[in-house]
A and B are shown apart, each in its own frame.
Chain A
Amino acid sequence: MSLERFMSEAISPWMKREGPDSDIVLSSRIRLARNLENHVFPMVANEQQAEEVNQQIRQHYADESYGSVGRLTYFDVDQLKPIEKRVLVEKHLISPNLAEDPKKSGVLMSEDESISIMINEEDHIRIQCLFPGFQLSEALTLASGIDDWFEEKVNYAFDEKHGYLTSCPTNVGTGMRASVMMHLPALVMTQKMHRIVPAINQLGLVVRGIYGEGSEAQGNVFQVSNQMTLGKSEQDIVEDLRGVVLQLIEEERSARKNLFETSKIQLEDRVHRSLGILSNSRIIQSKEATKCLSDVRLGIDLKIIEGISRKILNELMILTQPGFLQQYAGKPLSPDERDIRRATLIRERMKLEKNNE
């Protein structure tokens, strides 16, 4: 398969659109955790109990249309091949949890993949809406609408005092996790991230690096999300998060400007070296790839590099994950083989960009 066709099938349609503030915000996500009344939660459910829940949801919503979203297609996670599950995880459409232990679990997906609804994950229902760029309120509106639509046909586990009753006490109340993925290379380079993260934590929000274990963010991509789900309304949570994200955007932009003014040549050197590595290497590990992609992306945003699409970071961060590499190769790959394939895929992708120019 040509890379062009592979990509057009691999990248979720919602990702191809450009959202507001997309120089810094890669995507916005709202997730709502819901459970059905009088059914034990998935973790303690036996096969039959889990199947009852799955069936009830499937019967109402599989192949049904919701507004402008269109039809929701159901996939039985148990029936998917390991590589298919892996790809869904890498596209953030299902959780690693669901892929590893798919006991009577499934996922309902919209055609553009901006909506995925997991069935029998930690909770019976997890509604997820993904938007490009900074569109948290839009994501909340859509998720809440789908939530209303679900509620028309199923009874939720809800309690006046505690709100939506979830399996984990950290989700009870709104059941909502709002998160924003941000590319913050200048704040990392200027060592400001170390000071910002604790301040954000004090506001009841969490910042974590994505894909990377521990504190180090791969590719300078961070996820900022709410921690509290009880005591505040959905709108207030989103508003608080919005405030912090806007501040981060401003800080990142001013750090970029500053870097560009004070260390232009060093920055240009770094960006072009990374571009060189991506365009020429024959073996590349995931960590180096994401670092170079971050540099190149910064270079594009600062107009140090022209003629390469800004979406390249988002795309390649997904495409160079093990699942996609193996899907592209059409066979299982050892880690060493993956590093070679990764380098090849990135080179081809860079070439494609040049040809399109």
Chain B
Amino acid sequence: MYCQECQQRPATLHFTKIINGEKNEFHICEQCAKEKGDFIPGSNSFSIHNLLSGLLNFEQPLSDPGTAARSKQVTQCSQCGMTYPEFAKIGRFGCMNCYKTFASKLDPIFKRIHGGNTDHSGKIPKRLGNDLLERKKINQLREKLQQLIAQEEFEEAAEVRDRIRSMQQRLEGRD
């Protein structure tokens, strides 16, 4: 099978894309995919986030380049003054803001301590209430969406996306 873009090179990438609710199959070569950028899973320019926003036209913030730069400079908590080396040494946070300050480094630590888990799935303070529950559900659906896209289950992914949208609208309407 030849690449449907250039019609010259053999197609090495095959995937499905949903456009206006219709499933379309694509077969392209690697070079065209690189040039087109938004086609290929697994290439540098194409993260799972691109898949989300590109294929499903869904808004998902890319990892903020500012965050990475900041975390290199600031490894000290602005509220309690704890530095990352200090935290690593005593194994205790100094305040709740430390969780944000050291965020990029925490998941591997939590995974090791908590049997591979990084996310809370227990009690939620009542006063923070239903919005939080809803937002938590949205986050879970987002994860599911990514999985579905990775598995190329785009029809189901579109449904999940719509559910996320309507939940988000409800949440914003309430604020």
Interface, chain A (partner B; CB < 8 A): 35, 37-41, 43-44, 122, 144, 147-148, 151-152, 155-170, 172-174, 176, 204, 227-234, 237
Q: A165-B99, A166-B93 are in contact. List 6 more A-B contacts (CB 8 A).
A: A41-B95, A158-B125, A165-B93, A173-B117, A228-B115, A228-B117
Assess the B96–A161 pair: CB atoms within 8 A: no
Rounded to whole Å, the gap between the CB of A178 and the closest CB of chain B is: 12
Q: Which residues of A contact B125 (CB under 8 A)?
A: 151, 156, 158
B121 adjacent to chain A (CB < 8 Å) = yes
Assess the A41–B114 pair: CB atoms within 8 A: no
Q: Which residues of A contact B136 (CB under 8 A)?
A: 160
Rounded to whole Å, the gap between the CB of A133 and the closest CB of chain B is: 25
Main secondary structure of the interface of B (DSSP, over half): loop
Instruction: Give the residue name and chain of the A residue nearest to B123 (CB).
Output: A234
Q: How far is the CA of A165 from the CA of B95 in the complex (A)?
A: 8
Q: Give 10 nearest A-B pairs by CB, closest first.
A: A231-B117, A163-B120, A230-B114, A157-B96, A174-B122, A44-B94, A40-B95, A233-B122, A165-B96, A40-B80
Assess the A169–B93 pair: CB atoms within 8 A: yes
Interface, chain B (partner A; CB < 8 A): 79-82, 90-96, 99, 106, 109-110, 113-128, 132, 135-136, 139
From known contacts A35-B96, A40-B94, infer whether A163 and B122 are also in contact, taking CB-CB under 8 Å. Answer: yes
Q: Which residues of A contact B82 (CB under 8 A)?
A: 44
Q: How far is the CA of A40 from the CA of B81 in the complex (A)?
A: 10
Assess the B92–A233 pair: CB atoms within 8 A: no
Rounded to whole Å, the gap between the CB of B131 and the closest CB of chain A is: 10
From known contacts A156-B125, A158-B128, A169-B109, infer whether A174 and B120 are also in contact, taking CB-CB under 8 Å. Answer: yes
Q: How far is the CA of A233 from the CA of B136 in the complex (A)?
A: 14
B99, B127, B128: the one contacting A162 at CB < 8 Å is: B99
Q: How far is the CA of A154 from the CA of B87 in the complex (A)?
A: 27
A167, A169, A232: the one contacting B117 at CB < 8 Å is: A232
B94, B122, B127: the one contacting A151 at CB < 8 Å is: B127
Q: How far is the CA of A166 from the CA of B122 in the complex (A)?
A: 14
Assess the B99–A159 pair: CB atoms within 8 A: yes
Q: Which residues of B contact A165 (CB under 8 A)?
A: 93, 96, 99
A-B contact pairs, 17 of them (CB 8 A): A38-B96, A159-B120, A161-B120, A162-B99, A165-B96, A167-B93, A168-B91, A169-B110, A169-B113, A172-B99, A172-B110, A227-B115, A229-B114, A230-B117, A230-B118, A231-B115, A231-B118
